[in-house]
Chains A and B, each alone.
Chain A
Amino acid sequence: MKAKRKGIISVLCAAIVAATMLAACGGGGGSGPIGAGEHNIDKEWWTTTGEIVKDGDDVVFNNIEIKLATVVAGTDLAKFNTIVNRFNAEYLDRINIVPSSITEEEFNSQVAKQISNNANAPDLLMTHQKEFKSLADSKLIQPFNEAIEKSGIELDLDNYAAGLSKYSSLNFKDQQFTVPVDMHSEVVIYNKKLLGDNALPTNHAELVALCKKIALEKNITPIAASTHSASFYRFVFNTAILQNGGTFFDASNYKADWASAANMPAYKAAIASIRELITENLMKKQQSTGDALAAFLGDKALFYFVEPWSVDSVLNAYSGDKNDIGGASMSKWFAADPTKDCADYIYGDAHAFGISKTVTDISKKAAICEFVKWFSENTSAGVSWANAGHYSASKTLTENTSYAAENMVANYLTKFYPDIDDFQTMDISPYTYQYKSYLEQLYLAMITNNNASNDEADIIAYQKKVNDEIATINMM
């Protein structure tokens, strides 16, 4: 029996060694992680084949199929598909977009597997802006530059929200890897009946004063928000950090520097501004999403924190006059010093387009540009997408009068984001997932502690956690 086991083990070992040899032969020399800062691309990892056929200035597309992988899901996906169908109808026999949806958690690893193995790879990627850096570092996506140049289809970054388009290079010099699509964050809607003659607050002091007044007058908790719900902890705390002048990491080495001299006060001010609303009884500490909604629908709350894609549902559920519900902006609401430029910032996520490196045919690349351009300029597409709660990042659309006149845009989205250039996402880094998840945990720890004297220790502790994770990724 022992001999047999030895046999098995030796067979196993042999197999391992053989496989190791095989696999090791395939591998080239090791290359470390791409460091922080701007880089030049020494050697292009993508290729281009074929020629563009033009008819005058227009590119001729001949039945090009584009596989689009997107993180859009659920009811948004239905709306997204309708938009895509409209495009396909308009470009019948020329371009056909085939969308498929993957959950956000699985998007990167799945798409990366498919692209790196060149099997089932999507041609066009639509995911959150902050995810693209690591895809580019792994050499899985390619820039738009060549296609734009050769096809003459313009995708000028100046036409997009400044806070988003500045990330398009992903820190590769002179490259345009992504095109922003839209923006979303936690937003605020309010009850006009309860607001009465009062003006909407334009800074933190006004917010507190107004809420106190309303609370006293109407005997209600004026802010309905679920402080422990995903959308709240994902967006509101980060907005507060930005408004107080904080940053999420040190751009020179990608490490979290939350406890640095520059950031510590900003982080403390951020949590203090949220906590004040709770300690002053203007907002409940741990309201459930259902209770918050019930309070707002029952005219028992002035402000309601909600994801933009749920606004439509809230309006439908509201039994009173829908016009009594308006949109408000969070600009300056959490800033200790409202005079700073950064006090206007609103933090959120943004979808963006990127091209897989597996696309080689230049006509296909041009077709991708055509679709991206259409998506960011076509009014009906923009309106449909706005009704799904996604405000366009393209100035061509936001400055278009018929787009701006649309109810959802005029009464809500433009109110949430008065200046799209103030909309921010996480800066360029391959570790955005790590910052994001530990920032969420930091927020929750601090709000649960509810004790300002612990904040500093919490910030230091979570900074260590996130930097440990980053060190782990770079272990080898």
Chain B
Amino acid sequence: MVKKQKRVLSKSERERRKNKIVAFCVMAVAAVFFGFPFLYMLGSSVKSDLDLQLHPELIFPSSFGEWTFERYTGFFMYAGKIATLPIAFLNSLWSTAANVLLTVALDLLVAYAVIFVRFKFKKVFMKFLYLWMAIPGVIATAPMFAMYATIKNALGLHEGVGAYLYIYLWLIVPGSTGIFNVLLMRNMFASIPMEIVESARSDGASNMQIFRRIVLPLARSTILLIVLFTFNGSWNSLAWPLLVLSGESKTWETLTLALTGYTGSSNWGQVGYSMASSVFALIPTLIVFLFTQSKMIDGLSSTGVKK
């Protein structure tokens, strides 16, 4: 009886199994392509300077003696002193978290307004955002720094907690209005069946209730996606922090900025140090990624819209 059932199922089951094998093969090939550069990065970060020069063909050190972890230990003890890296790590952590929170909050508000609330200038607003995406951001750097400097000098914020907070305000806030994220969120909201919202509304639910009970749970995966994007962008940003933080106390630096102190263009170890510091900087991103990635996709299937 059991056997028979199995045989009945087997046609589509066999098909599915075949598909899985094909898919696995494709994925294995893809994994080599996508994974190899990471292996190369990891390997180069533990190769000695000499090995980097003499054995370019090897991924990992040529012999036991050529393994080096000095670059990694250097992140904690540098030039005979305890490095400021842990503090830089905390700076990065809170500013990135603040950036992520602000971005998600703003995006949720905008997307909710645009999809579920009718108001004047809505279309103008969205169209403007679309068009404004085309303006290359780089022309803003010099004026932005001039604004930053003018306000800073006008307020006299040159040292102390005030200056620190002011600088971090300029690190956190400007990145929070990314148009792409707004569009992503808006698109997600647009896919929420309006009937649910309408029926809730006719049941007397307030906007807050609709937002909390219906929209927020449905938007979870998109939120996680935006969290990841924003986290990544904020964590890796270098040029702007370099501009506003250089010359300030070492303990104010962000992690990415602090790590640049370890890479330079003047020695053989350059490649090794770059690789090591990038591996090091990737760790928090990896953690955030591991936490968000499964929910980011699986979250979609458990939102209640469909099973």
Is there direct touching of A and B in the complex, by C-beta distance under 8 Å?
A: yes
Q: Which residues of A contact B (CB under 8 A)?
A: 1, 4-5, 7-8, 67, 69, 72-78, 81-82, 85, 98, 100-104, 106, 110, 113-114, 117-122, 288-290, 293-294, 297, 307, 309-310, 313, 317
CA distance A458 to B250 in the complex (A): 48
Q: How far is the CA of A339 from the CA of B269 in the complex (A)?
A: 41
Chain A residues contacting B17 (CB-CB under 8 Å) are none
Residue B190 is within 8 A (CB to CB) of chain A in the complex: no
Closest to B248 in A: A120
Is the CB–CB distance between A74 and B153 below 8 Å? no
Quick check: B54 and A120 within 8 Å, CB to CB? Answer: no
Q: With a CB–CB cut-off of 8 A, which chain A residues contact B53?
A: 289-290, 293-294
Q: Could you tell me if A74 and B123 are in contact, using CB atoms closer than 8 angstroms?
A: no
Interface centre among A73, A76, A310, by most chain B C-beta atoms within 10 angstroms, is A73
Give the bracket for the number of chain B residues in contact with chain A.
Answer: 35 or more
Chain B residues, CB < 8 A from A73: 261, 263-266
Q: Which of B54, B260, B270 has the most CB of A within 10 A?
A: B54
Within 8 A of A (CB), among B257-273: 260-270, 273
**B267, A310: Cβ atoms closer than 8 Å:** yes
Give the chain B neighbours of A114 by CB distance below 8 A: 149, 243, 246-247
CA distance A97 to B122 in the complex (A): 54
Within the complex, the shortest CB–CB distance from A228 to chain B, in Å, comes to 15
B264 in complex: contacting residue of A75, A288, A294, CB < 8 Å: A75
| Docked complex Cα distance between A15 and B77 (Å) | 52
For the residues of A in contact with B, the DSSP-based class is helix
* Contact present for B264 and A74 (CB under 8 Å): yes
Cβ of B302 to closest chain A Cβ, rounded Å: 39
> Contacts A8-B131, A118-B149 hold; do A309 and B266 have CB atoms under 8 A apart?
yes
- 5 nearest A-B residue pairs (beta carbon): A74-B264, A73-B264, A117-B149, A119-B149, A120-B247
Q: Which residues of B contact A113 (CB under 8 A)?
A: 142, 145, 243
| Given A74-B265, A76-B267, A102:B145 Cβ within 8 A | no
CB contact list, B20-42 vs A, under 8 A: none
Q: Are B124 and A7 in contact (CB under 8 A)?
A: yes
Question: Would you list 23 pairs from A and B whose C-beta atoms are within 8 A, ordered by A residue?
Answer: A8-B127, A69-B246, A72-B266, A74-B262, A74-B266, A74-B269, A75-B269, A81-B79, A100-B247, A102-B246, A106-B242, A110-B246, A118-B149, A119-B244, A120-B247, A120-B248, A122-B246, A122-B247, A290-B56, A297-B54, A307-B266, A310-B268, A313-B267
- How distant is A355 from chain B, measured CB to nearest CB, in Å? 14
CB-CB < 8 A to A77: which residues of B? 261, 264
A313→B247 contact, CB < 8 A: no
CB within 8 Å for A293 and B54 given contacts A102-B246, A106-B242, A118-B149: yes
A102 and B267 contact, Cβ closer than 8 Å, known pairs A8-B131, A67-B247: no
- Does B286 count as interface, using CB distance less than 8 angstroms? no
A99 CA to B146 CA in the complex, in Å? 23
Given the complex, which residues of B lie within 8 Å of A307, measured CB to CB? 266
Greatest chain A CB density within 10 A among B123, B266, B267, B270 is at B266
The reply on B150 being an interface residue by CB < 8 A is yes
A82–B81 CA distance with the chains assembled, in angstroms = 10
Contact B243 A110 (CB under 8 A): yes
Is B245 in the interface zone, CB < 8 Å from A?
yes
Q: A74-B270, A78-B79, A110-B246 are in contact. Are A118 and B127 (CB under 8 A)?
A: no
Given contacts A77-B261, A78-B79, contact A120 B153 (CB under 8 A): no
Q: How far is the CA of A120 from the CA of B163 in the complex (A)?
A: 11
Q: How does the 8 Å CB contact mask read for B67-81 relative to A, with 1 for contact and 0 for none?
A: 000000000001110
The answer, among B245, B263, B273, for a CB contact under 8 Å with A120, is B245
Residues of A within 8 A of B247 (CB): 67, 69, 98, 100, 114, 120-122
Interface string of B257-300 (1 = CB under 8 A from A): 00011111111111001000000000000000000000000000
- Taking CB atoms, residues of chain A closer than 8 Å to B107 are none
